[in-house]
Structure 1
Amino acid sequence: MEKLQEYVKKVNFRSNSDKEMVFKYNEKDSELTNAKKAEKVNLSYSAEYKSYYEYDADKKLYFRFRNGKPHIERQTEEQLTTKNIIIQKVKNYDIKGDQYGRQEVNTVGSGEGYYITNGKCIEITWSKSSRTERTKYLDSEGKEIVLNPGQTWIQIFPVSGKIEIE
């Protein structure tokens, strides 16, 4: 990090931004109010691709699985975990003529989703006014969600997919 900071000074890169921080975080771990249980989160993108998270109450983390197996990080060879999960339901389309099956994913606009942490979840809405603006995630009262300290996974998820939260 020191070398990176030295280089930023050397080439006179800007070290501040006029953009808002993407998320707000609680000072310490906080429980969601008016939340439903979320100890297992199943995400079926299609018949061929599924992932899920299982909550470990002792560690207060979600462990990620992909197609029925632990999702392993290549360098550390440890299973991926996260503290917070945001599921953002979006419209998606196959790109016409694309030979690799890539998709166009609509992340500009608005939609529904979930915020999941500490074995609980709440329904949220999301909105993004343009490609260069940040996505805002709001609770049922219209307040911006505040995340617990720790890693956050944002699952961009097709509206046609199937979500089960247990």
Structure 2
Amino acid sequence: MRYRTLLCLLVVTVMVTGCSGTKGAFPEKKNNGNRESVQVNPFTGEKAPKTGSGPPFMVMVNNHPKARPQTGLNRAGLVVEVLAEGEITRLAAFYYGNREGTVGPVRSTRPYYLDLAEGPKAVVVHAGGSPAALRRIRDENLPSLDGIHGDGAYFRREQSRRSPHNLYTDLTQLRKGANKKGFTNSSLTGPYRFEEKEPKTKGASATHIGLKYHRLYEAGYRFDRETGRYIRYTQGNRQTDLKTGKPLSMNNVLVIRAPHRVIDSSGRREVDLNQGGEGVLFRDGKAFTVRWENREGWIVPSIDGKTVPFHPGRTWIQVLPENGELSYRP
């Protein structure tokens, strides 16, 4: 009897000790003999290293026809597409925890793209910018790596393309530049929710999505049931990664409308990303009508005031002008 009592106590002690080793959001995992804690990537809802992630980066990626296909967009956890001048859009690609990989071509920034960087406190990676954007970076002391104004060591020109569509960077180089300039904040949280289950609100079947930003520029998506992801199309052509040749794909597409206004003779725009409005979230082959709001610098979808969850994985946010066109069908 006494032997059984001691044996039971020993088993309980071992069980308690074994269950007390978790730390943070997820248990620690072994990595080459070391234990490394992990956290949730706030852009994707997926596990990411908790230490050594470095700061988030927002890279301004060129979307001019001569800049396609781009490199590295499939590594971005979040991409936001907004019109720049004329009919051309620009892509704000967010990276967090990525340790390597080429990204580009890199292009200039605008004030409303800086608005997108506010929430995640991302280092803005760009090739110059409009006078208003550069002034804001300087006056507000925003974290920035500018490929043509002082930070060229972390960028390179590709000989296979012509300027200004040939400036590239590398995530390893960006981490070096961020460390040298003191941009080391890696503690990142966000307001997004992620669930594999679909939202409780009934969605309409939507496997073909069409977007018209301008009479000269259209984009779209096709839902791939095998992978559960959307395949990106630009001007009717499947958009791929230059380096891998693989199509750009994502788990969520959020389409919102925002006021646009041309403000100068160069065609520069002012885009209001703060007032909120109507939107449609596409995930799992379905469309969900939502409202969007700017929540402390993040564009967040909601229904009846409650945040609508993304499917874990990559998300593209399409910011349409108010007269832009959205269509979708089964």
TM range (shorter): 0.7 to 0.9
Which of the numbers 59, 79, 83 marks the counterpart of 2:251?
83
Q: Which runs of 5+ in 2 are unaligned?
A: 1-48, 55-175
In terms of fraction of residues, the more strand-rich structure is 1
- What does residue 323 of structure 2 align with? 160
Instruction: Name the CA distance, whole Å, in 1 between partners of 2:307 and 2:53.
Output: 33
Alpha-carbon displacement from aligned partner over 1:108-134 (angstroms, at most 9, x marks no partner): 1111101110100111111226xx633
**Aligned pairs for 1:44-83 within 5 A:** 44-83=212-251
After TM superposition, the score normalised by the length of structure 1 is: 0.82
Instruction: Name the CA distance, whole Å, in 1 between partners of 2:194 and 2:287.
Output: 16
In terms of fraction of residues, the more helix-rich structure is 2
- What does residue 275 of structure 2 align with? 109
- What does residue 133 of structure 1 align with? 297
Alpha-carbon displacement from aligned partner over 1:54-84 (angstroms, at most 9, x marks no partner): 0111111110000011112222221101110
Cα distance 1:124–1:3, how it changes in 2: closer, same or farther (>3 A)? closer
Aligned residue type for 2:234: R
Q: In 2, are the aligned partners of 1:55 and 1:61 still within 8 Å (CA)? A: yes
CA offset at residue 12 of structure 1? 9.6
Instruction: Name the CA distance, whole Å, in 2 between partners of 1:117 and 1:154.
Output: 12
Which of the numbers 134, 143, 146 marks the counterpart of 2:306?
143
Question: Quick one: higher RCO (CA 8 Å, sep 6+), 1 or 2?
Answer: 1
Q: Which has the larger radius of gyration?
A: 2
CA offset at residue 3 of structure 1? 6.8
Aligned residue type for 1:128: N
Q: Which runs of 5+ in 1 are unaligned?
A: none
Instruction: Name the CA distance, whole Å, in 1 between partners of 2:53 and 2:199.
Output: 37
> Taking every aligned residue pair, what percent have the same amino acid on both sides?
23
Q: In 2, are the aligned partners of 1:32 and 1:120 still within 8 Å (CA)? A: no
- What does residue 88 of structure 2 align with? none
Aligned residues between the structures: 155
Aligned residue type for 1:160: N
Instruction: Name the CA distance, whole Å, in 1 between partners of 2:183 and 2:227.
Output: 42
Instruction: Name the CA distance, whole Å, in 1 between partners of 2:185 and 2:233.
Output: 39
Which of the numbers 30, 37, 55 marks the counterpart of 2:197?
30
**Aligned pairs for 1:8-19 within 5 A:** 13-16=184-187
Which of the numbers 289, 309, 329 marks the counterpart of 1:123?
289
Instruction: Name the CA distance, whole Å, in 2 between partners of 1:104 and 1:42.
Output: 24
Aligned residue type for 1:16: S
SS in 1 for 2:317: strand
SS in 2 for 1:88: strand
Cα distance 1:12–1:62, how it changes in 2: closer, same or farther (>3 A)? closer
Cα distance 1:78–1:123, how it changes in 2: closer, same or farther (>3 A)? same
The CA RMSD over aligned residues, in Å, is 2.5
Instruction: Name the CA distance, whole Å, in 2 between partners of 1:12 and 1:40.
Output: 41
Cα distance 1:161–1:15, how it changes in 2: closer, same or farther (>3 A)? closer
Aligned residue type for 2:249: T
SS in 2 for 1:74: coil
Cα distance 1:56–1:96, how it changes in 2: closer, same or farther (>3 A)? same
After TM superposition, the score normalised by the length of structure 2 is: 0.43
